[in-house]
Chain A
Amino acid sequence: MGAVTYPDMQVAALLNENFVPVQVNFEKVSKLVNEFQAIWTPNLNVLDRHQNRVYWVEGWLPPSEFTAMLGVARGQYFLRGKKYKEAEPLFKAVFEQHPRSQFAPEALYYRGVSRYLNSHEVEELKEDWIMLQRFYPQSAWSLRSNIL
């Protein structure tokens, strides 16, 4: 991460602007490592103010995927905080700006969830999940949406 992804200017700007970035040495923070059951690095976590882990990724990501991941993570931060209106455009931005990203189907899935939880209109959920099944039929997220 330190060699390729973190030096990327867009990655740095997004982390500085939208998150409080904390980096700790895996070998020196055994209490935290145990709390988060961190067994592997890279180990990337997004937490709310109550230390709830709202998103988590293990493994390396290139800058473009990392950027998309941050969008999903930020969406989850608002979604889990029941701020559905704030979450929805963040998920939307991921699949609009990174349609070929591995995180795009997940963003589309949760955009539908955000819209539904905000409005309780099932048509809004259907709209996104049908688009998910159409554009990302091989995705695990498409499978999870297959109840429609």
Chain B
Amino acid sequence: MSQTNINWINDYEEGLERVRDEKKPLFLDFFKDG
């Protein structure tokens, strides 16, 4: 997990709900540990 100032959501479905509410695109990053 990156330590940044980005307000990451770690749940895809929650992200989709936010997208529908906020009318913004969803940025989806698949990351690997290490």
Contacts and interface: CB of A to CB of B under 8 A. Distances in A.
Interface stretch (A27-35, A93-101, A117-125, A126-134): A27-35
Contacts of A11: 6
Given A7-B2, A7-B3, A22 B32 contact: no
B26 A24 contact: no
Given A2-B2, A2-B4, A19 B27 contact: yes
B19 A20 contact: yes
Contacts of B27: 15, 19-22, 44-46, 70, 73
A2 to B, nearest CB: 3
Given A1-B31, A25-B31, A6 B24 contact: no
A36 B10 CA distance: 17
Interface of B: 1-12, 14-16, 18-20, 22-33
